[in-house]
Amino acid sequence: MDKLHSLGLVVLRVAVFLGGCSCSAWAQNLEMTWSVPPQYQTPGNGSTAMIIKDPDGVARTIYDESYAVLIIQGRYSNGWSPTVAQGERSASILRKALEARGYRVMIWRDLKGQQFQLLLSEVLSNIGYRNQTRLLFYYFGHGTSLGTSDDDAGIRTFLVPVDAGDPSTNPQEFYRSAIPISRLTELASAMTIKHAFFALEACNAGGILSTLGLPPPPNAMGYIFGENVKKHVRQFLTAGNEQQEVPSGVFSALLVGAFDEGSRNADGYVTGSDVISYVTRHSPQYTKDFPLNPSYGFIPPAGGGDMVIGPSLAKLDESIVGDTPPAVVEPGASGAVNGNIPAEPEPAAPSVKQTPSSTMPQPRAKPKNPVQRKPRIVSQSAPPKSLPGKGNVSTPRSGTCFKFNGQTFCE
Q: CATH number of the domain at 163, please.
A: 3.40.50.1460
Helix (H) or strand (E) holding 178: none
Give domain status of residue 310, yes or no: yes
Pairing state of beta strands 308-311 and 269-271?
antiparallel
> Does residue 41 or residue 83 have the better pLDDT?
41
Weakest mean pLDDT among 242-246, 344-348, 362-366, 385-389: 385-389
Query: According to the model, what pLDDT value does residue 188 have?
Result: 93
For residue 95, is pLDDT > 80? yes
Round to whole Å and give the CA distance between 158 and 149. 16
Give domain status of residue 2, yes or no: no
Pick the closest to residue 348 from 74, 68, 90 (CA basis).
Answer: 90
Distance separating the N- and C-terminal Cα atoms of the chain: 85
CA neighbours closer than 13 Å in the CB half-sphere of residue 223: 25
3-state helix, strand, coil in the chain (%, to 5): 30, 20, 50
Round to whole Å and give the CA distance between 312 and 319. 11
Query: According to the model, what pLDDT value does residue 63 have?
Result: 95
Give domain status of residue 7, yes or no: no
Pick the closest to residue 259 from 140, 102, 146 (CA basis).
Answer: 102
The amino acid present at 258, given as its one-letter code, is: A
The amino acid present at 237, given as its one-letter code, is: L
Averaging pLDDT over each range in 1-5, 76-80, 346-350, which range is the top one? 76-80
Contact (Cβ atoms closer than 8 angstroms) between residue 360 and residue 367: yes
Weakest mean pLDDT among 236-250, 282-296, 356-370: 356-370
Weakest mean pLDDT among 12-21, 140-149, 202-211, 328-337: 328-337
Contact (Cβ atoms closer than 8 angstroms) between residue 29 and residue 67: no
Query: According to the model, what pLDDT value does residue 387 have?
Result: 35
Give domain status of residue 9, yes or no: no
Helix (H) or strand (E) holding 46: none
Give domain status of residue 403, yes or no: yes
Give domain status of residue 119, yes or no: yes
Model confidence over 51-70: pLDDT tens digits? Answer: 998 888 899 999 999 999 99
DSSP 102: T
What mean pLDDT comes out for the span 301-323?
Answer: 76
Pick the closest to residue 136 from 109, 101, 111 (CA basis).
Answer: 101
Weakest mean pLDDT among 65-79, 106-120, 193-207: 193-207
What mean pLDDT comes out for the span 172-189?
Answer: 91
Give domain status of residue 154, yes or no: yes
Domain of 42, in residue numbers: 29-410
Pick the closest to residue 402 from 224, 234, 221, 253 (CA basis).
Answer: 253
Tell me the torsion sign for CA atoms 165, 354, 253, 237.
negative
Number of domains in the chain: 1
Give domain status of residue 237, yes or no: yes
Number of H helices, E strands in the chain: 9, 18
For residue 5, is pLDDT > 60? no
